[in-house]
Structure formats: structure tokens, C-alpha cells
Structure 1
């Protein structure tokens, strides 16, 4: 059917950290300890982060999975950098206590338009997205009706507000383009999870 959302996963750090992008973080990690908090080794954003780190020479002195990753994870010193979604750190992003180093999204986040995406910084294009799917064999007429309704819903002010307040990237990709993205991401995700094992 179609893909309509990038979950706003980010790599973030305290605002006073002496690096503003992944290249600077990688350089910092050569002579300093950098600990990473993530949602688990089988989570796709974790795999993406480790692959990116490996690619650019970013060394994590330690890493650990957390059930919840939020402002206190950084404030308490539980981690130097975190891999999480913007919703869990909105308050400290707005207060200026935390900054985003990279977004794992197709486009730059509305919350941090000056921060390059992971793809811009490393070439890794994989993201975590959501879509609409129907049972195989559903008629083209029904699929088109659903797609039309979805696009109308995505164009509402309410969706624009949610996107602006959370950083979630909302868009619509349908038909063969959606299938191409699904196929590419499936292969990429499989490779990433194989890499983690």
C-alpha cells in the first residue's frame, strides 16, 4: 500500500558535549570514553548505530540496553550518548540541555533542521518507518480508496502539529516506489542484524 512515517530515532548527547556531529564524536572517542545507551542489540536502530560507528571509527568504551532512554539517562551520567526517539527527550531538547548529533530518518527533523541525517553523515540510508498494508488480493479500487483517505488524513493540521512537535517525518510513498523501499530496507535490515550477530 504505502509508507507514511519515519520514526524520529536520533543519536543525542548533552548540549555541552564537545562534538556536534558523528565525525567529531568519532574523533573524541579516540582519546575519551564514550558510553552508549540503546534499546537492545536486536533493535534495528541499535544495529544501524553500531554499523555507522564501525564505519566511521567511532569507539564505544561501553554500551548497554535500557528499557527507557530519556533526559535523565544523560543527566545522570548513565551514558555519554543515547540512541532514542525524540518523544522521550523533547523536554530537554526544548530546554537546551540535550542536542541531536544525527537523525536516523530520510529527511532532517523539524526539531533540528541544521543537524544532518545519518545518511548525510555516513551514507547509511536505513531508517525505521511505518506503513499501511492490505491483504494480498485486495482489489486495486479498494487500495486506491484507502490510499486516498490516508493522504487526506496526512494532510490535516493535526498531523502537521504532531510532526512539528515530535520531529516525526510524515510523508506518503505508494505503489512501486514503496515496494522498492521495502525491498531495499528488508535486505539492508537483514544485513545489519546479521552484522550484529
Structure 2
């Protein structure tokens, strides 16, 4: 027996175990001390946008829980790809977060990022926004079935506006009408222009998030035919969802918090607790009513499967729309 060799192996084994224990203790201590400095939250849209306003109210609430400032930094561009790339490249220590959304999938399948949602660890879902289909107040359709029947009898004639190529409203519209087996013309606009174009009679219907529509609906200038989401929109409480109308389709627009892959679980848990508390504040709920989003906290264990399921839905819709460039 080579005693020197055996002793050497034992020494190496003890050394490796010691290093592992030290590393584990270091992670535990780091998690206990987190956060020891300000935390950064990347927002994928410009200052003043609805996402930015929501993020800043959320950041204030989280800061009170964490005992450190949560600094919002706007990194807009390329449909969110610029912000995602920045955060994905940061150290996975909890100090760099992204205010993510369904766009994590659309930017990937559009070929704008080399990574998908699995490059991040989910922290918590924060809000949902519920896309709707609306038409002019004097339009002949009163529900989604009537609209789909018209499109079926008049292939390619129905013009449906959305907020732009690759936007959530575009992908949602494509997915919904494809599921009904009808051919319509999808027309991209900016979020403000699409409503103006509908009112001017340049298009027949729009797929939009509800924020800017409520005043026009109350005035009778628009009517909402259905909600393309998992629940009714509070602003239009009497309007049924597509599912309630017998059409198995939903495409909630969610926003949440994610961090680079590999962030220690105790750190993720602390961030999750801070999000939960912030979403429950009166200030956050008031902004929701003002901007047309619903506070919808979901913990990391549930948020991850939500993202994964939504990713598959968006992949199929983008492929049908001819927008999917990444396998």
C-alpha cells in the first residue's frame, strides 16, 4: 500500500470538504446580510411609460422592506432586449433585477437575444394586464363569436389593429384569430395611433390593453367584445372572457421580477417577500386602478411555470405570424 498516496488523497478530500463548507457558510452569511447596498431594477421601457410608473411604485415599496434603496434604471430598446442582456450579464447576487414581462419570450423568438427565459430565476409576478378586443360603438358585432363569424365569411377583409409588430397585442391577435380558423388582416400601429385609426374607420377592430379604452367605452364611442385573458377586466366587468364565450384562448400580459440565473435561493426569497409586501400596499393598488393593471402577486414557485407555459403559447403564435426566427 502506498501510504503517501493514501494520505495525499485523504488530505485532498478533507480540503475539498472544507472548501465546500466554507463556500456554503459564505453563501449563507451573504444571504443573511443581503442587501448590504442599493439594489438596481432595470426597466425595459422609457421613463414615464406605464411600466416605468409601476416599477417605481414597486421599487419604493420594496425598499421599505429591504432597508436599502431600490434604484430604477431605464434601459429601453430592441423590444426589451437591451435591458435583458444587461441584467443577464450581471453577477447573480440579487443586486441586479429586471422588471420582466412576456417580452422575455418575444425578444428571444424574434432573434434579439441569444438566451430565453431560462437565463433568469423568477422572483415573483407583480401584475397582469388583460388584452381585449374592441370595436366602434356603432359596429354591428356585439361579441367575439359574431366578429369571428364575420371574419370567417369574409376572409382577409377584417382589419385588426395592434400596438406594433411583435408587440403583445399583435401576438395575441394573431393567436386568437388563428385559433378560430379565420383569416384577418393584422395592422400594426403605435398604442395611441391604433385607437385613433379605429375611431376614424381605417380599421375594424383592435386588440389592446384596457388602460386608455375605458373613457371611450363609457362615452359609447367604443365597445369591448371580449377579454382575451384568464379573468374579466375590472374596468369592463360585464364583458365576458373569450373562454366564457366558448373560445379556449387566453393571453394575459404579465409583469414581474427576475434575477440572473444562479442567484442564491435565500436572496430570491428575500426579494420575493419584499415584492409581496409592495404589491399589497394601497399606493400600488391605486396606481393599478389609474393605469389599467391588476396587482397579481405570484410567488417564484408558481411564477416559473407561468412563464414556461406562456413561452410555449408565444412560440406557437409567433411561428404562425411568421415572426419566429429562433428555434
Q: TM-score range by the shorter chain?
A: 0.7 to 0.9
Are 1:64 and 2:187 counterparts?
Answer: yes
Distance 2:243 2:259 in 1: 30
Any unmatched runs of 5+ in structure 1? Answer: none
Distance 1:183 1:65 in 2: 27
Any unmatched runs of 5+ in structure 2? Answer: 1-122, 323-327
Q: From the CA coordinates, give the structure whose radius of gyration is larger.
A: 2
Structure 1 residue ranges, 4+ long, deviating more than 6 angstroms after superposition: none
Match in the other structure for 1:99:
223
CA RMSD of aligned residues (A): 2.3
Output one character per residue of 1:110-138: Cα deviation in whole Å (capped at 9) or x when no partner: 10112122344421233221111122232
Output one character per residue of 1:47-78: Cα deviation in whole Å (capped at 9) or x when no partner: 22123213324443x43211234542222112
Match in the other structure for 1:18:
140
Distance 1:137 1:57 in 2: 42
Distance 1:89 1:175 in 2: 32
| 1:193 pairs with one of 318, 321, 327 | 318
CA, structure 1 residues 57+23, in 2 after alignment: closer, same or farther (shift >3 Å)?
A: farther
CA, structure 1 residues 94+70, in 2 after alignment: closer, same or farther (shift >3 Å)?
A: farther
| 1:109 pairs with one of 229, 233, 238 | 233
| 2:166 pairs with one of 37, 42, 60 | 42
Greater shift in the superposed pair: 141-150 or 76-85:
141-150
Local SS of the residue matching 1:183: helix
Output one character per residue of 1:133-161: Cα deviation in whole Å (capped at 9) or x when no partner: 12223233322221122111111222222
Local SS of the residue matching 1:82: strand
CA, structure 1 residues 31+134, in 2 after alignment: closer, same or farther (shift >3 Å)?
A: closer
Contact 1:35 1:79 in 2 (8 A): yes
Q: CA deviation at 1:45?
A: 2.7
CA, structure 1 residues 191+54, in 2 after alignment: closer, same or farther (shift >3 Å)?
A: closer
Distance 1:75 1:125 in 2: 26
TM-score by length of 2: 0.54
CA, structure 1 residues 94+163, in 2 after alignment: closer, same or farther (shift >3 Å)?
A: farther
Match in the other structure for 1:76:
200
Distance 1:57 1:70 in 2: 24
Distance 1:36 1:125 in 2: 18
CA, structure 1 residues 21+107, in 2 after alignment: closer, same or farther (shift >3 Å)?
A: same
CA, structure 1 residues 115+176, in 2 after alignment: closer, same or farther (shift >3 Å)?
A: same
Distance 2:243 2:299 in 1: 22
- Point out which structure has higher relative CO (alpha carbons under 8 A, 6+ apart): 1
Match in the other structure for 1:27:
149
Contact 2:161 2:194 in 1 (8 A): no
| Count of residues paired in the alignment | 196
Distance 1:31 1:192 in 2: 22
Contact 1:118 1:124 in 2 (8 A): yes
Q: CA deviation at 1:193?
A: 0.7
